[in-house]
Structure 1
Amino acid sequence: MTVSAYELLFYAGGLFVLFLTPGPVWVALLARAMSGGFHAAWPLALGVVVGDVIWPLVAILGVTWLVDQVSWFMDVLRWVAVVMFVGMGVLLIRNADKQLSENSRLTRPGMWAGFMAGVAVILANPKAVLFYMGVLPGFFDLTQVTWLDIAAIMFLSMLVPLVGNLVLALSVDRVRGLLKSPGALRRMNVIAGWLLIGVGVVIGVS
């Protein structure tokens, strides 16, 4: 392997911060958990794993091909990662008072329906691969990665969100109570926003 344990740990931390940021997966998970509890939510979390494995692989292979063609592309992508993290943090802080909404199409009962809802919510967003293309070069030198490195990156890309989603599903009653409190929602979003900005700053100075 060419990536260090420190790089993998830092990447895992970045993934965790991103998990804390409300988005489509949060909406889908909360919708199912609120309608059917943990039993309805955990299949969706497993469905999300499909995209969490596919998108980083597509991004790594795509970035590696581009780097072979244009050597300076890595530096450009590193700064793209900085801008993306800082931009997401700023937007999250500016919109900290916005409530999440439920999508009834995602609450159809049944484990298979839950799993497919998870696959749909992660794969139906092609911007995810562009996100990974911008973020991964900020953590790793993709010109040097081996298949073992790629496997480790994909494993973390799957594991961190999966654990987070399952914990969120188990804690859905408490989370639902927090989301009903505008003050608590604002604090959560502001903290997550500053954490995202912090990750961007660290990538920029490292």
Structure 2
Amino acid sequence: MTIATLLTYSLALFVAAIIPGPGITALVARAMGAGFTDSLAMAFGLILGDMVFLTAVVLGLSVVAQTFGALFMVIKYLGAAYLAYVAYKIWTAGLVKAEMAAGPKRSPIHSFLAGLFVTLGNPKAMLFYVALVPTLVSLDTLTVTDYLQLLAATFVVLVLVTVPYIALASRARELFRHPEQLRGLNRVAATFLMGTAGYIALRA
């Protein structure tokens, strides 16, 4: 695989990822409600989901994955339910001291799994890789090195997209130092997060 091919793949992925979708919306809402660190774990979950889809396409499992539509439905509803639960916890966090108002404390593993479920519950994300990868590389001649380069490019590009989003959302939270303001911000974040959960659950 040539450098030009890898750059083309990276650019296409960057353009697709930077457009806010359910994953980015959930990530920003989580950053507004809980701060940078918790949201970073969620971002890594989102990224792992993309890497799983890339791997499935490389291994030729896209047809198999599409056959198990029920599995995607279960994952989708699990992800939506968890986001709704997080939204509820953020909404009911109540008034606390400003220096402690970082939203409901969640295990990084929970945040990571939430991000993973959001991506894996979105078959359209796999369709992006199904459409893109075969047009750039021959899957029949793809080497392990090529695959590792694609994985590395996916990870780097998605980190470059997600980290600025959560950094800006976390910074916006820090500007609201008064407890009443933080409660209002919590409820805005919870509303967006609940809306994302509803969108994920209801979309085809």
Q: Flag whether TM exceeds 0.5 (same fold).
A: yes
1:47 aligns with 2:82: no
Counterpart of 1:105 in structure 2 is: 85
So what's the TM-score if we normalise by structure 1?
A: 0.59
Structure 1 contact 106–117 (Cα < 8 Å) conserved: no
Whole-angstrom distance in 2 between the partners of 1:105 and 1:31: 13
Report the counterpart of residue 36 of structure 2 in structure 1.
38
Counterparts of 2:3 and 2:157 in 1: how far apart (Å)? 16
CA distance in 1, matches of 2:58, 2:85: 32
User: Structure 2: 5+ residue runs without aligned partners?
Assistant: 65-82, 90-104, 174-204
* Match of residue 17 from structure 1: 15
Q: What is the rounded CA distance, in whole Å, between the counterparts of 1:175 and 1:127 in structure 2?
A: 31
Name the structure 2 match of 1:130.
127
Output the amino acid matched with 1:105.
Y
Displacement of 1:173 in angstroms is 5.7
Q: Deviations over 1:124-148 (max 9, x none)?
A: 1233223211111222222321111
Shift of 1:7: 0.8
Over the aligned positions, Cα root-mean-square deviation in angstroms equals 2.7
Alpha-carbon offset, residue 168 of structure 1: 1.1
TM-superposed deviation, 1:174: 7.2
Mind listing any 5+ residue stretches in structure 1 that lack a counterpart?
A: 67-102, 177-206
Query: Following the alignment from structure 2 to structure 1, what is the Cα–Cα distance between the partners of residues 109 and 153?
Result: 25
User: Aligned residue pairs: how many?
Assistant: 139
**Code of the aligned partner of 1:52:** D
Percent sequence identity over matched residues? Answer: 30
Q: Scaled by the length of structure 2, what TM-score is found? A: 0.60
Is the aligned partner of 1:171 residue 2:168?
A: yes
Conserved 8 A contact 1:63-1:133:
no
SS state at 1:62 partner = coil
1:49 deviates by: 2.2
Amino acid at match of 1:144: T
